[in-house]
Amino acid sequence: MKKTTTRSSNSARGEVSHTKKRSVITIPQRTKNSSHIKPKPFQKQKPIKRIQPNKKLPELSKGNIRIIPLGGVEEVGKNMMLVEYQNDILVFDAGVQFTTEEDAPGIDYIIPNTKYLEGKKDKIRGLIVTHGHLDHIGGIPYIIERIGNPPIYTSELTSIMIQKKMDDFPTHPPLNFKIVQAGEKIKLGNLKVKFFPVTHSIPQALGTSIETPYGNIVITGDLKLEHSDGVPSEKEEKVWGNIGQDNNLLLIADSTNVEKPGYSMSEKIVYDNIEQIIKNTKGRLIIGTFASQFERMIKIIEIAEKYGKKIITEGRGIKVNIEIAKIVKLFEPKKGTIISAKEVDNYPPDRIVILATGSQGEEFAALMRMSIKQHKHIFLNEKDTVVLSSSVIPGNEISVRKLEDNLYRHNLKIIHYRTSDVHSTGHGNAQELAWIHQKVGARFFIPAYGHHSMLKVHAEIVKSLGFPDKNTIVPDDGSIVEIQNQGQKINLLKDKVPSGIVMVDGFSIGDMQEVVIRDRQNLAQDGIFVVIAMVDLSTGKLKKSPDIISRGFIYLRESQNLLKQARYITKQTIERMVKGAKPIDFDCVKKEMTNNVSRYLFQSTNKRPVVIPVILGV
């Protein structure tokens, strides 16, 4: 018996064995065609073109400086940027972007496209990492070998966060970390890089200033300002005042929160509020926060100690990061402050503060497990108070809503950022960014870290400060920005470096293609329709009526007519094509079967399930 199958879209390679190595898939820049909107009416889907052709890019002229954002200027995430001058390339950050299930079902995340760097490995002097958030470090395990494993210059805390990521890749060669500190200056090739401290929602975040012959290029990394009521602190005045002393050629600055007016809420207000809550809450207090909010977690533990309360940490991220905080000596909790979840009932409820992960409604995180009564030791009741000390990351609205609903089922009290100041952002608002822009006083400006619209708003704000329009460039991922004429001119080249989206897809086989993603979208939308036909090879007739298996498409029992017709079309197609053919071209038969069945299903249901033909020759 001969058995063959193909997928309707030739992606059969995507369905089998697992290997240890994670695969990286490259697909072209997102276009209107690749959105999740269903194309209608029925037409054969055009294959998406593979990547931009490897067009020869113009060489970098001797005196020019090239700045190329490889990611992070058309989205929030996958931040990566490079500065190239003569024989030296410095790379800044290598982040990931999380995907939504609609855009790319089953895809873990998207990483920057490093193709441009892969041909220039010998020029790369280092990867400089500004801070330890995943949108700045998460791509490192996937790209570091592709760019020749250069040394990584970063702060101690960030290096530990990166190393922790690498633990998931045990076969990876060790990374070469060079720990740097704010205030330090290092030489990389013919360029010098100065590090300075910036305020962000993770400790040891660094801004960088690159000395070039025409002036300095200041890259802020993510940041906000420490301030009270819109007056930047002395620390900020000093740091930015110093930077402002330099001859600054170009400022590249964070745009994430630029659409919000004024100054961002200061973290001090959050601490004061949380202190009041910890002090005054009568029952148990459960605080959900981001595990990377080191300072806030530490503050919560210190406040708990102040009021004689015990802390229970729930969730791997929080436990790990508290250990990291101790290693880099950010704090040292008193002995006995942190107790295990098992001991929760050994103390009166008003002495218990639980720090938990999962404030984004993540399915398996501690908060969700508590809310659906799946936690081993912590059972919620109406005397509990839950504080969600975080904002809702765009895209997580539904899961957060679900979490809140589940929590409220216990008739407890919820305090969140919309009703009370229990969270502040790590990114500066418009006025903060304007203040930084004026302090730095650079000749040119590139807004970064955000969607295109955010970058444009940032450019507008800078313009309103009197900054000449022609000195601002709003780039796309892969844009080549050049500083020319000995630092007198900034120019956006017509050419772009490869910037097609690169995806990471768990543990899957190597060479998967964009059709796999499209299949998943189709499966999620319209389900699957498998037609199995048994052909008598001697007569060319079907042995029996074809079998049909379908999932997520229609309710078969109530669709007998449709099934009957699909069987009829299958039988007609096969018998017509097999008649007199020797040898039989099964691939051809299956293709025709797929086309005919798909067209019929679309015409009668307006749905486009993935059709899989199976022919058994006997």
From the CB of 428, what's the least distance to Zn ion, in Å? Answer: 12
Q: Which residues pair with 532 in a beta bridge?
A: 547, 614
The active-site residue out of 133, 200, 416, 427 is 427
Interhelix angle for 316-327 vs 294-306, to 10°? 90
Residue type, position 148, single letter: G
The amino acid at 593? M
d(CA 19, CA 510): 8
Q: Which of residues 200-239 bind Zn ion (CB under 5 A)?
A: 222
How big is the site for Zn ion, counted in residues (CB under 5 A)? 2
Site for Zn ion contains 133 (CB under 5 A) = yes
427 is catalytic: yes
Nearer to Zn ion, 34 or 396 (CB): 396
Nearer to Zn ion, 85 or 196 (CB): 196
Q: How far apart are CA 538 and CA 226, in angstroms?
A: 82
254: helix, strand or coil: strand
Dihedral sign for Cα atoms in the order 586, 592, 597, 598: positive
Stretch that binds Zn ion, among 38-46, 126-134, 160-168, 386-394 (CB under 5 A): 126-134
Write the interaction track for Zn ion spanning residues 543-582; mark x where CB under 5 A is met and - where it is not.
----------------------------------------
292 vs 594 by CB, closer to Zn ion: 292
Q: CB 488 → Zn ion: shortest distance, Å?
A: 33
Minimal distance in Å, beta carbon 139 to Zn ion? 14
The dihedral through the CA atoms of 240, 246, 251, 252 has a sign that is negative
**Tokens 């304007």 found at:** 434
Q: Is 395 helix (H, G, I), strand (E, B) or coil?
A: coil
Q: Which of 93, 254, 477, 519 is catalytic?
A: 254
**327 C-beta neighbours (distance < 10 Å), count:** 11
CA distances from 386 to 146, 278, 290, 415 (A): 45, 11, 15, 6
Report how far apart, in Å, the C-alpha atoms of 286 and of each of 289, 382, 566 are: 10, 13, 56
Phi and psi dihedrals of 13, rounded to 5? -65, -20
Residue type, 385: T
DSSP 471: G
Catalytic-residue membership of 495: no
Name which of 153 and 449 has its Cβ closer to Zn ion.
449
Q: Report the distance separating Cα 467 and Cα 443, nearest Å.
A: 9
Give the nearer residue to Zn ion in terms of CB position, either 433 or 497.
433
- Least separation, in Å, of the C-beta of 130 and Zn ion? 8
To Zn ion, the closest distance from the beta carbon of 131 in angstroms equals 6
Q: Using alpha carbons only, how large is the chain's radius of gyration in Å?
A: 29
Q: Least separation, in Å, of the C-beta of 222 and Zn ion?
A: 3
Is residue 78 a contact residue for Zn ion (CB under 5 A)? no
Lookup: tokens for 279: 């002090």
Residue 298 CA to residue 69 CA, distance in Å, equals 35
In the complex with Zn ion, the residue whose CB is nearer, 133 or 518, is: 133
Toward Zn ion, which CB reaches closer, 133 or 590? Answer: 133
User: Minimal distance in Å, beta carbon 474 to Zn ion?
Assistant: 21
Letters for 81-120 (x = contact with Zn ion by CB under 5 A, - = none) are: ----------------------------------------
Catalytic residues: 254, 427
Residue ranges that bind Zn ion, judged by CB under 5 A: 133, 222
